A and B are shown apart, each in its own frame.
Chain A
Amino acid sequence: MRRSTYVLIGVFIAATVIAGSLGRLALERQLSIANTRDMVSIRPMAGFQKFAADIHWMLFIQYGGANDVDAETAPEFYRRIMRIISNDPDFYRAYYTGVLMLGPVAPNLALDIADRGLNNPRVRLHWELPMLAGQIVMNREKMKYYNNQPMDQQQLRLANGYFEQAKNCPGAGGIALRSYVRSLAALRPGDERLELKEIAAWYDYWQRQRRPLGYYGDGESNRMDMDVEELLLTQMRVAKARFPNDPEVEKLVERIVSEAFPARRLDPVTLQEYDAGDLYSPHSGVRVNVYGICGACSAVLKGRYCHRCGADSQPPAIPSGTIKPPPPPKADSRKGRP
Chain B
Amino acid sequence: MDEVLAIAQSTWQRILKMFVVYLLVGCAIIEIGITLLYDTLTMHHHRMLMVDLSLVLTTMAGLLTVLALAFDLPREMREGGAATLLSKPIGRYQYLLGKYFGILLVSLVVTGMIATGFCLVHWLSFKSLPPSAIQGHILAVVQVIPIAAIGLFFAALLSEAAAAIMTAVTVWIAHSTPMLAKYPIVYGGLLPDLNLFNMRAEATYNVAINGPYLLMVAAWGIAYSVALFALTALIFNQRDLK
Contact = CB atoms under 8 A, between A and B. Distances in A.
B234 interface: yes
Given A5-B237, A23-B193, A50 B201 contact: yes
B201 A19 contact: no
B56 interface: yes
A22 interface: yes
A16 B201 contact: no
Contacts of B230: 8-9, 11-12, 15
A198 interface: no
A61 B45 CA distance: 12
A61 B176 CA distance: 30
Contacts of A22: 188, 216, 219-220, 223
A316 B42 CA distance: 73
A27 B234 contact: no
A12 B220 contact: no
A325 interface: no
Contacts of B171: 46
Nearest to B199: A34
Interface string B209-242: 1101100110110011011001101100100000
A21 B195 CA distance: 16
Tell me if A's interface is mostly helix, strand, loop or mixed: helix
A22 B193 CA distance: 11
B217 to A, nearest CB: 5
Interface stretch (A51-59, A152-160, A167-175, A218-226): A51-59
B216 A50 contact: no
Nearest to B187: A23
Interface of B: 38, 41-43, 45, 48-49, 52-53, 56, 59, 91, 93, 171-173, 175-176, 178-179, 181, 184-190, 193-202, 204-205, 207-210, 212-213, 216-217, 219-220, 223-224, 226-227, 230-231, 233-234, 237
B202 A33 contact: yes
A311 interface: no
Contacts of B178: 27
A18 B230 CA distance: 14
A251 interface: no
16 contacts: A11-B230, A16-B185, A16-B227, A18-B227, A19-B223, A22-B188, A22-B219, A27-B193, A29-B216, A33-B199, A33-B202, A47-B195, A47-B197, A51-B53, A51-B56, A54-B52
Interface of A: 4-5, 8-9, 11-12, 15-27, 29-30, 33-34, 40, 42, 44-51, 54, 57-58, 61, 88, 90, 93, 97, 122
B179 A27 contact: no
A99 to B, nearest CB: 15
A15 B234 contact: no
A51 B32 CA distance: 13
A23 B220 contact: yes
Given A22-B188, A44-B173, A47-B175, A54 B48 contact: yes
A45 B233 contact: no
B189 A20 contact: yes
Given A25-B216, A44-B175, A34 B201 contact: yes
Contacts of A26: 188, 193, 196, 213, 216-217, 220
B213 A24 contact: no
Contacts of B194: 47
Nearest to A11: B230
Nearest to B181: A27
A45 B220 CA distance: 22
Given A15-B230, A18-B223, 19 more contacts: A4-B91, A4-B93, A8-B93, A16-B189, A17-B189, A19-B188, A19-B223, A20-B184, A20-B186, A22-B220, A23-B224, A27-B187, A30-B213, A46-B175, A48-B56, A50-B52, A54-B52, A58-B42, A61-B41
